Amino acid sequence: MALSFRRIVASIGIALLLPVVAHAQESATISGHVTGEGGIALSGVAVSIPELGLGGITRDDGSYTVAVPSARVNRQAVTVTARRVGYKPKSARVTINPGTLTQDFVLEANPLQLGEVVVTGAGTSTEVEKLGNVRNSVSPELLVKSNEANVVQALAGKAPNVQIAQSSGDPGAGSKITIRGLRTINGDVEPLFIIDGVPMNNSTFSTTNFNPIDAGSTTGVGGQDVGGQLEGTSAPNKMMDLNPADIESVEILKGAAAAAIYGARAANGVILVTTKRGRSGQTRYSLRSSGTNDEVTKTYPLQRKYGQGQRGVAAPITRSWGQELTGDTFDHAKEAFDTGHQLDNTLSVSGGNERTTFYLSGNYNKNQGVFVGPNNYFDRATARLNASHHLTEGLTVGGNFSFADTRGHMTQRGNNVNGLLLGLFRTPPNFNNFPWLDPKTGLHRSYMVPDATLETAGQTRVFNNPLFTLNEELNDQKGNRAFGNINAEYIANTWLKFNYTLGADYAQDERLEGCPAECSDVAVTGRITEGRITDYQLDHNLTGTANWHLNANVAGTVTLGQNLNARNYRTFSVVGRGLIATQPFSIINTLARDPASDYQTEIHNESYFGQATLDLYNQLFLTGALRNDGSTTFGRENRRSLFPKASAAWTFTNAYKPSVLTFGKLRVSYGEAGQEPQPYLTSPTFSGTNLVGGISQGTGFTPTQSGLGGLFTSFTKPASSLKPERTKELEGGFDIGFWGEKADFSATWYRSKTNDVILVLSVAPSTGYSSEAKNGGVFSNSGTELSLNLRPITKTNYSWDLGLGWGRNKSNVDTLSGAQFLLTDNGLLKTVAQQGFPLGVIRSLGWVRCGISPNDAISGVDLAKVCAGAPKGALYLSDGSNDECGDAGMPCVDNTERVIADPNPRWTGNAHTTIRYKKFELSGLVDIKKGGDVWNGTRGALLSYGTHKDTEIRAKCTGAATSTCTGNEHAMGDADFYPQPVVGPGKGVKFPVGENWYRNSGLAACPFTGIDDPCIEDGGYVKLREISLGYTFDQPWVARSLGMSSVELRVAGRNLKTWTKYTGLDPETTVGGSTSRVGGTDYFNLPLTRSFVVTVSLNR
Amino acid sequence: MRKSSIVAAAICLTAAAGCNSFLDAPKAVADPNAPTQASTNQLFVGTLSNTFGNYEGPVAMLICQWMQQCAGVNGRFVETQAIYTIDAGTFDIPFQNIFNGGGLIGLRAVEAQVASDRLYLGVAEVLEAMNIMFAADVWGDIPYSEAVGSNTTPKFDPQMQVYASLLTLLDKAIADLAAGGTGPGAADLVYGGNATKWSEAAHTLKARIYLHQVEKLGNAQYTSALTEARKGISSPANDWKTAHSSNTSERNMWAQFAQTSFGPDLVAGSTLVNLMKAQNDPRIGSYYQKNSAGAYVGYDVSTGGPDVATISALVTNPTAPQPIITYDETQLIIAEAAFQTSDRTSAATAFNLVRTRAGKPTIAAAALTLADIMNEKYITLFENPEVWNDYKRTCLPALKAARGRSRIPGRIYYGQTEEQTNSNTPTTASQNLFTFRNPNDPNACQ
């Protein structure tokens, strides 16, 4: 593992550069070898003389050289220290005499990572044992071993309470990351990403946002249309532009206590990524090449016995309740899926000399997805150059530059008649989706328009033929990203240094979606959506750090810094309707265009911060920090905000050491961090779009009418003053090492309270406005995080280690400023914040249940009496005599909306292990989510459509009423039919289950009835995330015959197996994708994939 | 805005002068995405578009179903509405549209800006009356006197008081229209700023309001209605119709809905289809399409048939202007008012004017019945919310409630947001759809 020079110097915190005084004296050279246990040469070890501010790094053979200029050779005694990540630092005293000195080091492994340096953000760093917060770091080996091209997804299962959700298995689909639960309902829920000291945008933008009219969107807080959560394509999260192979380290700052140094942008935590640097010595080459086969983890169970129709008779309707089939049937569950292929190549070259180092890499990732046809892929090319140069003694300048080019073609999904799965799984088994174009007319044929004659031109297909969706639609995205920084470090004298970073992040993303003519629904005449997202960020960060040693027992540092940040964001888009010619998919080839949409934001921040540390008796480490943020998003009266933090770490084993403990530390910290308001909430405006909502999505008026420009007063009352949301977090815990160094255990408890949460509260529409943004919400989160690492066997030839992580977060909405509930997502369901409940619960109607429904839920029934003795949640079954209820034996509708599900997991955990035998290495990672409800609307819809496998056994119905049906009789609560406790006069009463129940009863098909509790399922899972077996060839013959220093072969599997009770495609999936705050909504989203990977790494 | 603002700011910080400008960047402080100023004409077009939306929007579609000119099928939301399965949430947006955006707040802004242009003021006042009357018709008591002011919880004015205020407002509007001014001109998509046409529409509106008061205040209101209707819309050319273009969100709302995937869920209602077939009404072809068997068939919400698959779809045209207040309606107001005040001759004259225009045979004064008049109005005012007001007053045409229901609702729920935020709002429970009737409609039909 490489170690960055800058981090070392920063960590040591002491550097000396005396003015060059001309003395006629001889220079000195200190050189030597650094080896590990067993005499293995260690490369990349930083050898430094802190008192002189000098240092060098060992070459591949473990040798190093530090030259001391003649002016500074004073025959003095100095300390020479050798450090390398994974090893305990070692120091030696040497006397500087002119000439050559030799000092060798033998380093011991350091599984507890004591003495290693951790970056803590905003230019500060510290040593592991001095940290007042829980440390979660992810090593580059783990990131690369995950075989994920997306660094966010690669973090899955790597740290407790760091939750990752993949939006779909479509190539390029984004992943969402949240840490320690949610703390906001309108702001961003993801942590701030900092790459080499510069914030990097990790936004996710769905192309459907460009088409608010068809997407049935609402205007988001801050004014941008948000409609893309339920349909459209999966969207990439922008951290995808970073090649995981370029990463040197990832530090996760969880919660406000750790992240407070980032002030108003840090309430969700911060992820600090450091990219690789070159090091002096021989130039090193590395080529890593991997090939992956992907396939869908699961498809839906569909029936193949009954055809299109109703009441047992064939009819040209959308449902499959028709005749029993005798002819050919088709396997719609599988016909759209294929094996996907990925090829990932990274070539890196790094090296340098004592003054200049560089790291250069290029990556090409080609990902052809799992849906049939050529149109689903995501290709990424990245290049990176990191370089630094010691300009003069004391002054080092450097630059990191990265470029990414992504080209993807995504697949329409979700609640979308032009999406893949909606049409696919609804297709009756007797309809052949091939060919998707009529051979004679070339027109789109679907099961609702099976005979695509010329007369059907211009008519909707109701649902697209899924193969038409895959082969004829265009869903293109092209991203370009340039990001990086120039940096300088100036060591002014023995106790003072300065760091400067000027970073930039420029991203442009072009989207083009085209639905040909005879697409379904509103796109029937053909539709083009074209848009561009431009994101531009500049960041200036200047810090000065002073440190002092009063005596051997008292030392400290003071860092002062200043940060300026400017973010510009703009989207521009047009929707065109009515294709003139069939090609090209271009906005100019359309008959009519919706009003163009142009949305931009500009945010400026100006911040000052300071941090002081105090080290006492080498066992008590205190840190205090303060950040003052100014932001244009704050109201004028609150233009600046202050965020404090304090922490203490006590290495008690330095005072008292029980024999069982190798190391022990208690830590406690408190910090405050914020979330900026959305821009422009305080700015009064008029609006020109979305004036009147129609009855369904796709209908509505703008104030402009018949070519005359119209405007209206914004529905949202301008806020008089707003300040940032503020999270106050208290964290405590301990870290211990025991059984020698064979085990370590870490426990952390935290409690946070988020005040001033910005709520868009309803105001009485009769006042002229419908909503107003206010700082009014209070949310709290509390939780526990445990991690245990065991290294039972650590022999030279073989070793075994095992790690376990466990995290639990409990959130609660303390107050919503009087609102009963507020939506957290613009989703298919009401995902809400509701006082007294965890954030993100689902509200809807449900069946009448004991202990949940009001006593008078059914007219004339004293529910409490019937329910006496029954468990809470028992289902009331009626005798069919009440209006609220179905026929005898069926449940009843509770017309009082209630919280029916909580998508938040009860806890999450992970287990990883590595077994090494000589040059073989076997490792595995299991990712566990306990609890967390998912609304399986896909299943609900397919039951109504009669295509779900569960409808294969069905009652025969001749009419809509239950009385017209015979056969397949079941009683609710039976082991094979809605098994659960039941009460009431209908208990045990069997009724025929067929079309009448699933389609007509108004009780069963939740997506269409609004009664959602029957669709709630347990979304807990255990996933075998990663398993890999590698072998490293580094025998002498490798160098002799291949010219390589080592060759590594690895076979791996990803997401090979999921154990879950969930009956849908995958409990991880959510129709909102990574743009949804909470998740837990499954509605015809695309499936996830499992992968088999073969990797070859060549190192020279 | 200087391009390299961050560099400038960095420099300024070292120079310790003018540093505030970084946090005062104009595009960072004021929303660059929306106008902060709006002209009178822009606001006026917004209020017109909003009025079109109120009269063509979800409430109009609901009324069309409840009045069985239309029917909802296929189990999706229109079918649930057709059988009166609705809640306060259903009406959130329709209620907002009365007051927000291009609603009362927009009209008040226009009225404030045109205070010295009395023609323009009069037009805005008529629009205000149209929108508030619509709200009072469907909701009964509504916030009006304290609406769109400083009170965060405006009180609800009694419905009859709202009607009275609107009569006063329309009188003022008529006076203002006559006083001259520049007016909205081409910004007026309905009448092109024509004072006479607006004045006629104002009189027909007054006649409408008197009719809406009849059930409560008695037949004297018929006399007033007659007087006003006679000053009302004087020719079909002066009809108050919505205006639409083929641009996506400027299309006729009925057409917009028909072109979504939900379009086939809204079909012909059997009551109107059967009535038109019985009268051999030539307009049937412009209202409905024949089904695949070549027949006009309507869906009967009381029996749930015939089978959904055989129902014809409603005919719609994206640029079709939707008639809201018309000459025909004015004549039929005259017919009803005259008939109810025992002037059969006048009633027959006005009635037969409409019949003749429709291409149907006339009916002699002696043979004329109230049912003839109201059925004719029901046929003529296709997709017009006014038919619900007529039904609540006259119980004509005879309608049967949806299956499983004993009566057709007489009102709709207040918007949920208003109920949750304004303590003056009567609760949904106290305003039960089936038992509570608006004050102007004390008697149920079933």
What b-and-e string marks burial along A555-591, b requiring 16 or more CB atoms within 10 Å of the CB? bbbbbbbbbbbbbbbbbebbbbbbbeeeeebebebbe
Share of chain B above pLDDT 70, in %: 94
What is the Cα–Cα distance from A679 to A694, expressed in whole angstroms? 28
Listed in sequence order, the residues at least 6 apart from A326 whose beta carbon sits closer than 8 Å to its beta carbon are none
What is the Cα–Cα distance from B170 to B167, expressed in whole angstroms? 5
Question: Which among A486, A594, A692 is the top mutation candidate for probing chain B, defined by the most B β-carbons within 10 Å of its own β-carbon?
Answer: A692
Listed in sequence order, the residues at least 6 apart from A397 whose beta carbon sits closer than 8 Å to its beta carbon are A388, A389, A391, A486, A487, A488, A489
Give the residue-averaged pLDDT of B117-146. 97
Residues from chain B contacting residue A698 (CB–CB below 8 Å): 256, 259-261
| Contact across the interface for A685 and B97, Cβ inside 8 Å | no
Give the residue-averaged pLDDT of A8-15. 37
Share of chain A above pLDDT 90, in %: 63
Q: What is the pLDDT of residues A499-514, one digit of tens each?
A: 999 999 999 999 999 9
Residues from chain B contacting residue A678 (CB–CB below 8 Å): none
- The band of A213, judged by pLDDT with boundaries at 50, 70 and 90, is confident
The predicted structure's pLDDT at residue A48:
84
- The band of A254, judged by pLDDT with boundaries at 50, 70 and 90, is very high
Give the residue-averaged pLDDT of B104-132. 97
| Contact across the interface for B248 and A577, Cβ inside 8 Å | yes
Residues from chain B contacting residue A687 (CB–CB below 8 Å): 34, 101
Min distance B370 CA to chain A CA atoms (Å): 34
For residue B408, pLDDT beyond 60: yes
Q: Which of A680, A769, A770 sits opposite B31 (nearest CB)?
A: A680
For residue A673, pLDDT beyond 70: yes
Residue B403: beta bridge partners? Answer: none
Amino acid identity at B361: P
What is the Cα–Cα distance from B111 to B122, expressed in whole angstroms? 9
The predicted structure's pLDDT at residue A221:
55
What is the Cα–Cα distance from B177 to B158, expressed in whole angstroms? 28
- The band of A559, judged by pLDDT with boundaries at 50, 70 and 90, is very high
Give the residue-averaged pLDDT of A215-232. 60
Residues from chain A contacting residue B44 (CB–CB below 8 Å): 710
Q: What is the mean pLDDT of chain B?
A: 91
The predicted structure's pLDDT at residue A231:
76
Q: What is the pLDDT of residues A24-64, one digit of tens each?
A: 457 888 989 998 877 778 877 888 887 777 777 787 778 88
- The band of A424, judged by pLDDT with boundaries at 50, 70 and 90, is very high
**CA dist B236 → A81, B323, B378 (Å):** 98, 10, 18
The predicted structure's pLDDT at residue B35:
87
For residue A20, pLDDT beyond 60: no
Residue A613 sits at the chain B interface (C-beta within 8 Å): no
Q: What is the mean pLDDT of chain A?
A: 89
Q: What is the pLDDT of residues A147-200, one digit of tens each?
A: 899 999 999 999 999 999 888 889 999 999 999 999 998 888 999 999 999 999
What is the Cα–Cα distance from B111 to B102, expressed in whole angstroms? 13
The predicted structure's pLDDT at residue B16:
40
The predicted structure's pLDDT at residue B310:
56
For residue A376, pLDDT beyond 80: yes
Identify the residue with better confidence: A689 or A301: A301
**Least confident span in A335-339, A415-419, A422-426, A908-912:** A415-419
Burial of A1024 (0-12, 13-18, 19+ CB in 10 A): middle
Q: Strands A875-876 and A982-983: what pairing?
A: parallel
Q: What is the pLDDT of residues A1017-1050, one digit of tens each?
A: 999 999 999 999 999 998 888 888 888 888 999 9
Q: Considering only alpha carbons, which residue of chain B is nearest residue A592? A: B247
For residue B33, pLDDT beyond 50: yes
Q: Considering only alpha carbons, which residue of chain B is nearest residue A636? A: B29
The predicted structure's pLDDT at residue A224:
58
Residue A700 sits at the chain B interface (C-beta within 8 Å): yes
| Contact across the interface for A764 and B421, Cβ inside 8 Å | yes
What b-and-e string marks burial along A169-180, b requiring 16 or more CB atoms within 10 Å of the CB? bbbbbbbbbbbb
Q: Are B439 and B445 in contact (CB under 8 A)?
A: no
Closest by Cα among B333, B326, B130 to B227: B333
The predicted structure's pLDDT at residue B5:
59
Question: Which among B1, B62, B139, B248 is the top mutation candidate for probing chain A, defined by the most A β-carbons within 10 Å of its own β-carbon?
Answer: B248
Q: Are B321 and B191 in contact (CB under 8 A)?
A: no
Residues from chain B contacting residue A684 (CB–CB below 8 Å): 36
Min distance A897 CA to chain B CA atoms (Å): 11
Residue A705 sits at the chain B interface (C-beta within 8 Å): yes
| Contact across the interface for B418 and A710, Cβ inside 8 Å | no
Residues from chain B contacting residue A697 (CB–CB below 8 Å): 260
Give the residue-averaged pLDDT of A952-961. 90
Listed in sequence order, the residues at least 6 apart from A928 whose beta carbon sits closer than 8 Å to its beta carbon are A908, A909, A910, A911, A1021, A1022, A1023
| Contact across the interface for A766 and B42, Cβ inside 8 Å | no
Give the residue-averaged pLDDT of A1052-1073. 89
Identify the residue with better confidence: A645 or A682: A645
SS3 (DSSP) at A643: strand
The predicted structure's pLDDT at residue A51:
74
A&B contacts, CB < 8 Å: 285
Q: What are phi and psi of A300, to 5 degrees?
A: -85, 145
pTM of structure: 0.84
Min distance A688 CA to chain B CA atoms (Å): 8
| Contact across the interface for A698 and B260, Cβ inside 8 Å | yes
| Contact across the interface for B75 and A1008, Cβ inside 8 Å | yes
For residue B446, pLDDT beyond 80: no
Residues 51-70 of A with CB under 8 A from B: none
Q: What is the pLDDT of residues B178-196, one digit of tens each?
A: 999 999 999 999 999 999 9
* Structure tokens, A400: 């990191």
Q: Are A706 and B250 in contact (CB under 8 A)?
A: yes
Give the residue-averaged pLDDT of A885-889. 91
Residues 813-832 of A with CB under 8 A from B: 819-820
Residue A560 sits at the chain B interface (C-beta within 8 Å): no
ipTM here: 0.91
Identify the residue with better confidence: B430 or A531: A531
**Least confident span in A799-803, B11-15, B317-321:** B11-15
Give the residue-averaged pLDDT of A676-689. 84
The predicted structure's pLDDT at residue A11:
38
Q: Considering only alpha carbons, which residue of chain B is nearest residue A417? A: B261
Residue A538 sits at the chain B interface (C-beta within 8 Å): yes
Residues from chain A contacting residue B48 (CB–CB below 8 Å): 705, 710
Residue A202 sits at the chain B interface (C-beta within 8 Å): no
What is the Cα–Cα distance from A831 to A1079, expressed in whole angstroms? 9
| Contact across the interface for B261 and A820, Cβ inside 8 Å | no
Q: Strands A620-631 and A590-593: what pairing?
A: unpaired
**Least confident span in A998-1007, B134-143, B185-194:** A998-1007
Residues 218-277 of A with CB under 8 A from B: 223-224
Residue A537: beta bridge partners? Answer: A505, A567
Closest by Cα among B106, B156, B155 to B127: B106
Min distance A47 CA to chain B CA atoms (Å): 36
Q: What is the pLDDT of residues A607-637, one digit of tens each?
A: 999 999 999 998 999 999 999 999 998 877 7
**Least confident span in A90-104, A729-743, A782-796:** A90-104
Alpha helices in B265-410 (DSSP H): 270-278, 284-287, 327-340, 344-358, 370-380, 386-394
Residue A707 sits at the chain B interface (C-beta within 8 Å): yes
The predicted structure's pLDDT at residue B399:
94
What is the Cα–Cα distance from A827 to A707, expressed in whole angstroms? 33
The predicted structure's pLDDT at residue A439:
95
Residues from chain B contacting residue A762 (CB–CB below 8 Å): 417, 420-421
Min distance A369 CA to chain B CA atoms (Å): 29
Q: What is the pLDDT of residues B50-90, one digit of tens each?
A: 999 999 999 999 999 999 999 988 777 777 888 888 888 88
Closest by Cα among B296, B304, B292 to B277: B296
Residue A892: beta bridge partners? Answer: A885
Residue A1008 sits at the chain B interface (C-beta within 8 Å): yes
- The band of B19, judged by pLDDT with boundaries at 50, 70 and 90, is low
Q: Which of B33, B54, B143 sits opposite A223 (nearest CB)?
A: B33
The predicted structure's pLDDT at residue A57:
78
Q: What is the pLDDT of residues A444-473, one digit of tens each?
A: 999 999 999 999 998 889 999 999 999 999
Q: What are phi and psi of B160, to 5 degrees?
A: -65, -35
Residues from chain A contacting residue B34 (CB–CB below 8 Å): 223, 685-688, 714
